[in-house]
Chain A
Amino acid sequence: MTTDAILQLALFLGVLFVLAWPLGAYIAHIIRGEPKGEQTGPIRLLAPIERVFYKLAGVDASEETGWKSYAIGLLVFNLVGVVLTYALQRLQGYLPLNPQGFGAVSPDLAFNTAISFATNTNWQSYTPETTMSYLTQMLQLTVHNFFSAATGLVVVVALIRGFARKSAGSVGNVWADITRTTLYILLPLSVVFALVFVGQGAIQNFKPYQDVHTVQATTYQQPKLDKVGNAIKDAKGNPMLEDVTTQTQTLAMGPVASQEAIKMLGTNGGGFFNANSAHPYENPTPLTNFLQMLAIFLIPTALVFAFGRMVGDWRQGVAVLAAMTLIFVVAYGVCVWAEQAGNPALVSAGADSAINMEGKETRFGITASALFATITTAASCGAVNAMHDSFTPLGGLVPMGLIQLGEVVFGGVGSGLYGMLVYAILAVFIAGLMVGRTPEYLGKKIEIFEMKMTAIAILVTPILVLACTGIAVMLTAGKAGVANPGAHGFSEIFYAFSSAANNNGSAFAGLSANTPFYNSLLAVAMWFGRFGVIVPVLAMAGSLAAKKRLNVTAGTLPTHGPLFVVLLIGSVMLVGALNYIPGLALGPIVEHLQMIAH
């Protein structure tokens, strides 16, 4: 790693931990407001709004339920969101705030997008500035950015309560939890970040798109597209290109800053523009770039601190955070090294240096692009400021690998921590046996039911990724979308399903995924990848809450020391490696070996 890379990383982590610690205390405070929900401090000003919502919905916020009602509530809430988002996309042509007059989104794309935003994936098979009206972006996509993050939050809140409570029959009130996490955590933070983004030059308007006359005529090549937007290929299977010359540039407008804030804070990642955070209106300055990276990790990190507080031992949180941080730092090191080392073929082709600048913004360069890519895939954000598809094989393996670890390295809002806690349960199960006791974590015995739920939660995403990739490479419809021949084409498909099932949303964008086949299969992967984990985690929360909490003795496996950190990292890496090594060997690994062989 270069000094620059180390300094950027150190600064990033330093600021992150300093901000996340008090935020963690605040989140714990909000969550502990149960069951009465009395808030103190300036935040109580928002309390009347909370009460109005309960009154309108006829919810008694103090009435807690078991995990089943909690899970059903959450599923219904998200299903309604999916249906409304689908409807709005189909009807946007008839609705206001559509200065460009976009028509209805195609059924398969609308379905894919609705699921994508509801599951916190924000996979975008479309180009937003040529597809979605301002109303659709604001009312459905931005709203989902809040609610999908809140969904992740309440699940981890229920799980933490499962650990913290003793012999309890309930895990909380799902409606109150969603309302409070949105109102007191996501909303205030988003307001602050949005204002800073506007101050830095991110746009926020309802204007129609602006045509500007460029100083220089630009000639460029673009792939020839057919009517549905797929690249037309020549006889050899390579995409056909056409020359275009123009002196007019259309600048897309819109209420960007407000969506940008929650896109990062909620680890959603769905860009207002196709270029996502590489676009100057989304991410105008180095400061916003830094703040965007910070916003991605902020709540996931704070939640880990909040977890430590709520289970009554801050070291438990720090241990989990240490495991996440170590994996993250190593991943970043590999990524930045790979991009810096670049492609030897560039030098032999006459370039000054091998470093890999393809697909990167010159504003950000190697280090900030590699850091952003590592952060956005460690967390299940998926926002990008560079093309992951253009990374070197190993540089691209890092984002793909982080996604495949199950988005537990910081991970999504809520989902990162609950995912990591599932791994912690797996780790203590085996390690607990090794110290001669039936396993326990945080004083709760890990028994048959917990093991069943852990098994499901850990099995769901690899099965989805592997099975869907398998289906895609067998079918003509799957193979049609691949732009790059050879092993990289396989990597693109593999990345797409890894990203979808683990709810990341970034892509090796060489794959043309806006086809009925990919839209449907990816939607299936996203939905089950999300709720196939959430339901067993909530079931586990319920079962843990009902258990008594055992005393810690010298014979108890300590879960706060360096040894446990190593063990946790080991479990995450081992499960990830065992699941994905064969696939990775046929994708990025062989790509790398082919590259250096040249």
Chain B
Amino acid sequence: MSNQKTNAVRTQAGYAGENQVAQSGDTGRRDKLSLLDPKLVTPALIESFKKLAPQIQWRNPVMFVVYIGSILTTILFIQALGGNGEASAGFIGAISLWLWFTVLFANFAEALAEGRSKAQAESLRSTKKNVVAKKLSGPSKSASRQIESSADLRKGDYVLVEAGDVIPADGEVVEGVASVDESAITGESAPVIRESGGDFTAVTGGTRVLSDWIVVRVSVNPGEAFLDRMIAMVEGAKRQKTPNEIALTILLVALTIVFLVVTVTLLPFSAYSVEVAKAGVPISITALIALLVCLIPTTIGALLSAIGVAGMSRMMQANVIATSGRAVEAAGDVDVLLLDKTGTITLGNRQASAFIPAPGVSEKELADAAQLASLSDETPEGRSIVVLAKQKFAIRARELSEHNAHFVAFTAQTRMSGVDYDGRQIRKGAIDAIKKHVIAIGGSFPDAVGKAADEVSRRGSTPLLVSDGERVLGVIELKDIVKGGIKERFAELRAMGIKTVMITGDNPLTAAAIAAEAGVDDFLAEAKPEDKLALIRNHQAEGRLVAMTGDGTNDAPALAQADVAVAMNTGTQAAKEAGNMVDLDSNPTKLIEIVEIGKQMLMTRGSLTTFSVANDIAKYFAIIPAAFASTYPQLNALNVMGLNSPSSAILSAVIFNAIIIVFLIPLALKGVKYRAQGAAQLLRTNLLIYGLGGIIVPFVGIKVIDLLLVALHLT
């Protein structure tokens, strides 16, 4: 029974967690630091300057070009100060200054994203302190013990953890059962049960045992613990560019090369034009560098790395630890979600919903017997029977001690429970168990009850039979309760093109009924672990990407096979190692959120790239007439923004290019708004906002900056 109980605690906690996430939206619950919290901004500002080192700049090819441009214009500025510059020192100096700002703003965006992640890592690290461990010489509480620091524990050591102790390292429970407070890593205050054997053996270092004791076999060496890996991931120390990020970088580098060629060749073009038009002077190097920096995709180049860090960070806020950025990316691509019925689609426990009496038995009689049989049953199912009898017939729970009552507990052998009192022998249990029981003591099994039980199964509920002595009294219908709001979530997923498959151990009849009620697209009934694996392989062979959650050791092969595999933190070590993400809340519904975060990260990249490239049109209109004004004054017809002077036009474009980075930092960190829509609609919306917006915004922005420059007499 205890196993079932743990299950209930787990799923209730998980469900509560989910609600909380749904309400609090993006903000998460461990770190409530606002986007521009001074605690983050100040170090990020300092970091922006530290990142000016060439070896750091070199890693971002687009910004490296700006960096070189800044250095070149600085040299030109110094030359102009000496009196023989190609343009006025004030103009070159202003361009140079804003190019440096562009580099700094990009650094700042990255530093801010990293700072947020580090803050999250810090709060994780605070849970990880050296504690005193009671090291045992063998896998038993009675073995001899010695006191050691947790830092000295090695893989394979055994430790005893008693009520009030902090678990010194990740490991598996080999003996005992205890309630554990895992709020330090999950943020969830409800304690969870950890025990030896079964699927709830894994414990995490840094969490605290509240009651009882357990013997834990340490499963990792110092520095390799789950928490250590998480911190390393989050801090970005191990952050490698994801495949899609690399592909996008290639595109950005290609664009940069094109614009490099465009601007470099503009020098001879301009010189030739001056020669044939016999007017004006060739374009200045400063103007060319300004044009180059404005054209290359600096906006996305500056924010790309921040978007990646922020994606990991959002996963963290959802209390999910991804083992790689690649996994976060893959989450956006998922086509099929495999969801376990229990805990994900339905509440972990079933509830009594009806009493169906046998012929010749009143409903009240059945309810009364059912309540008596369930009095000592502390499982949620048992309690729900007591409650239902009370609601329907006002039968109150009775004190049975004076009746010489003897409670019969559930065992795996009898698969029944009940009570013996006043000579009555009341039992409740599965159909075949009760059938065997009444026939064994000389009773008969009425066909009508068998039919009623079948009927209950067909509805997707579980029938429980009640007997009094050799009489079968009837059927209790235990209904699976589908989680509130889950149907709508599945409808959203369907709109996004994601297929949901429910996995259950129930028979096909029951499964079909629940599947219909929950609104999943498909189900796999009487599922064995190997069926799950086969299902994943089938979907993958048809070209789909599959995501699943799992917690048991027998889930490990399927987790390893799935493209996105979320292991529950309460799950076994094997499950956690097979998956590529771990959900600290152990909430299987989280999978949906994970998919959304993955998609959001990709969308942010795509949208900002589109925005960045679309900006170039306005910049051409600002700089081209300005750059060739002295040779071909007619080109001023292209000065559609009516910018004040050639130098204010070029300067305004450069300033806009720098400032837009700062304006877009919040968007890069928070991600673009995600809507559960089909691809076509999403594209239309985002093209309109970031494509069309990207064309229009700079026209307005550059004009406004130009007006300000004029008003402030800065040109």
- Residues of chain A having any CB pair with chain B under 8 Å: 426, 429-439, 443, 446-448, 450-452, 454-456, 458-459, 462-463, 466-467, 469-471, 473-474, 479, 485-487, 489-490, 548-551, 553-558, 561, 563, 567, 570, 574, 577-579, 581-583, 585-586, 589-590, 593-594, 597
Contacts and interface: CB of A to CB of B under 8 A. Distances in A.
9 contacts: A433-B244, A436-B600, A438-B329, A551-B542, A553-B499, A553-B544, A578-B255, A590-B628, A593-B632
Contact of B244 (A438, A558, A579): A438
B276 A433 contact: no
Given A555-B335, A578-B295, A581-B624, A593 B543 contact: no
Contact of B262 (A443, A489, A567, A578): A578
Contacts of A589: 635, 638
Sorted nearest first, the 8 A-B pairs with minimum C-beta distance are A433-B606, A555-B497, A436-B599, A554-B497, A455-B254, A553-B497, A434-B606, A593-B634
Contacts of A485: 276
A585 B680 CA distance: 36
A554 B638 contact: no
B298 to A, nearest CB: 14
B687 A567 contact: yes
Given A554-B494, A554-B495, A586 B243 contact: no
A406 to B, nearest CB: 12
A429 B251 contact: yes
Interface stretch (B95-103, B465-473, B609-617, B654-662): B609-617
- State which size class the interface on B falls in: 35 or more
B684 interface: yes
Contact of A548 (B253, B543, B691): B543
Interface string B670-685: 0000100011101110
B250 A451 contact: yes
Interface in B240-261: 243-244, 246-248, 250-251, 253-255, 257-259, 261
Q: Chain B CB within 10 Å — which of A435, A439, A479, A549 has the most? A: A435
B544 A551 contact: yes
B94 interface: no
A433 B603 contact: yes
A555 B499 CA distance: 10
B170 interface: no
Given A582-B620, A586-B273, 9 more contacts: A430-B613, A436-B332, A438-B332, A439-B244, A451-B247, A553-B335, A578-B262, A583-B265, A597-B634
B285 interface: no
Contact of B269 (A433, A473, A555): A473
Contacts of A563: 680, 683-684, 687
A467 B268 CA distance: 10
B258 A462 contact: yes
| Residue among B266, B494, B679 with the highest chain A CB neighbour number at 10 A | B679
A590 B617 contact: no
B599 A437 contact: yes
B441 interface: no
Interface in B474-527: 494-499
Contacts of B599: 435-437
Contact of A474 (B244, B271, B607, B691): B271
Contact of B258 (A553, A556, A578): A578
Nearest to A450: B247
Contacts of A486: 276-277
B247 A556 contact: no
A583 B498 CA distance: 47
Contacts, number: 212
A433 B632 contact: no
A470 to B, nearest CB: 4
A467 B606 contact: no
Nearest to B627: A582
Contacts of A447: 243-244, 247
A567 B682 CA distance: 14
A554 B269 contact: no
Nearest to B539: A551
A190 to B, nearest CB: 38
Given A555-B335, A593-B637, A438 B602 contact: yes
A473 B605 CA distance: 40
B261 A582 contact: no
A585 B638 contact: yes
Interface string B681-695: 011101100110000
B168 interface: no
A593 to B, nearest CB: 4
A555 B247 contact: no
Contact of B603 (A434, A446, A456, A570): A434
Contacts of B244: 433, 438-439, 447
B49 interface: no
Given A435-B679, A487-B276, A448 B247 contact: yes
Nearest to A478: B272
Nearest to B624: A585
Contacts of A594: 632, 634
A463 B258 contact: yes
B624 A582 contact: yes
B247 A436 contact: no
Contacts of A489: 276
B598 interface: yes
Contacts of B495: 554
Contact of A469 (B265, B497, B616, B635): B265
A157 B119 CA distance: 54
Nearest to A577: B617
Nearest to A455: B254
B610 to A, nearest CB: 6
Contacts of A433: 244, 248, 602-603, 605-607, 609
B269 A446 contact: no
Contacts of A452: 250
A437 B634 contact: no
B288 to A, nearest CB: 10
B333 interface: yes
Contacts of A553: 335, 497-499, 544
B262 A582 contact: yes
B270 interface: yes
B264 interface: yes
B498 A555 contact: yes
B283 to A, nearest CB: 10
Nearest to B257: A459
A470 B259 contact: no
B606 A579 contact: no
Given A430-B606, A437-B599, A469-B265, A585 B628 contact: yes
A558 B253 contact: no
Quick one: which of A432, A437, A467, A563 has the most chain B CB within 10 A?
Answer: A437
A583 B264 CA distance: 12
A85 B159 CA distance: 85
B635 to A, nearest CB: 6
Given A490-B272, A586-B269, A448 B243 contact: yes
A590 B683 contact: no
B269 A469 contact: yes
A382 to B, nearest CB: 24
B612 to A, nearest CB: 10
Contact of B261 (A431, A455, A463): A463
A317 B691 CA distance: 25
B598 A579 contact: no
B552 to A, nearest CB: 29
Contacts of B609: 430, 433
Contacts of B610: 430, 434
Contacts of A446: 247
Contacts of A567: 683, 687
A582 B632 contact: no
A469 to B, nearest CB: 7
A458 B617 contact: no
Contacts of B277: 486-487
A152 B299 CA distance: 38
A461 to B, nearest CB: 11
A437 B691 CA distance: 18
